[in-house]
Amino acid sequence: MIQRKNKKEKISKKRIEKLIRRLLIELGENPDKEGLVGTPARIAEMYQEIFAGYRMNDDELDVSFVNEETDAIVVKDIRFYSMCEHHMLPFYGKIQIVYIPSGKVFDISKLNHVVERYARRLQIQERLTRQIADAVIAGMGVKGISVIIEAKHLCMKIRGVRNDSSVITECNRGVMEQKEFREHVVPLIYTSAEPKLRSVV
Ligand SMILES: [Zn+2]
């Protein structure tokens, strides 16, 4: 099994360029023709961005808390883009997060960071849902969290069944594993009131 020694190390653009060039030849293309000449370099550059999650540090998830009593918090429509690990094609959509803080408040932009960290790598939707829930429970001291992801998969749209349907996955952790909590809080996700972030009394 080939594995890179240090996962935090920047991916090698030069090596990716070579691989993409090789792939273009295998596909029957001439990688030196106009239009394709810069493609391996562009893909290598793009991969650095869309697979950046592998090299995001744990300490970037550190949160500073302010003590304050709050009830459930809903963060709606966090947009994400990821790459399916079965086909290396994009899947993308929106994430809804409901969590119950434990008397501590953290900067909500940290949730975006958690999403980016796990979305910007090869993924499957079920694992992405679970990893976000687990990271917030472990790192941010919340009492419970529900993560709901609705996504479209290009590998379903452009190949195989060619179906345009969405896939919805859900993961509940902490007190949100109890049905009565979920029944009380999760419906708030589906209200359309602005602002998108709201506190529940
Ligand atoms: Zn796929």
Burial of 76 (0-12, 13-18, 19+ CB in 10 A): buried
* 101 and 175 both lie in a single domain: yes
Give yes or no: 131 in active site.
Answer: no
Give yes or no: 87 in active site.
Answer: yes
* 43 and 69 both lie in a single domain: no
State how far the alpha carbon of 98 is from the alpha carbons of 15, 70, 89, 134, 192, in Å: 42, 13, 28, 13, 15
* 46 and 81 both lie in a single domain: no
- The predicted structure's pLDDT at residue 103: 74
> Is the Cβ–Cβ distance between 200 and 185 less than 8 Å?
yes
pTM, two decimals, is 0.84
Give yes or no: 155 in active site.
Answer: yes
State how far the alpha carbon of 117 is from the alpha carbons of 13, 54, 111, 174, in Å: 20, 7, 10, 22
* 141 and 179 both lie in a single domain: yes
Q: Using CA atoms of 121, 126, 128, 134 in order, give the dihedral in degrees to the nearest 10.
A: -140
Alpha-carbon span 89 to 91, nearest angstrom: 7
* 24 and 84 both lie in a single domain: no
Q: Given 84, 96, 116, 131, which residue is catalytic?
A: 84
On whether residue 124 sits in a domain, the answer given is: yes
> Is the Cβ–Cβ distance between 31 and 21 less than 8 Å?
yes
Q: Given 9, 45, 60, 85, which residue is catalytic?
A: 85
* 17 and 94 both lie in a single domain: no
Q: What is the CATH number of the domain that holds 95?
A: 3.30.1130.10
Q: What is the pLDDT of residues 9-29, one digit of tens each?
A: 677 899 999 999 999 999 999
Which residues constitute the domain of residue 22?
Answer: 13-50
On whether residue 58 sits in a domain, the answer given is: no
User: In 3D, which of 126, 80, 101 has the Cα closest to residue 185?
Assistant: 101
On whether residue 3 sits in a domain, the answer given is: no
Q: Given 48, 113, 150, 155, which residue is catalytic?
A: 155
Give yes or no: 48 in active site.
Answer: no
Number of domains in the chain: 2
Q: What is the pLDDT of residues 138-168, one digit of tens each?
A: 988 899 999 999 999 999 988 887 888 999 9
On whether residue 168 sits in a domain, the answer given is: yes
Q: How many CA atoms lie within 13 A of 135 on its CB side?
A: 25
Ligand 1 geometric centre to CA of 201 (Å): 41
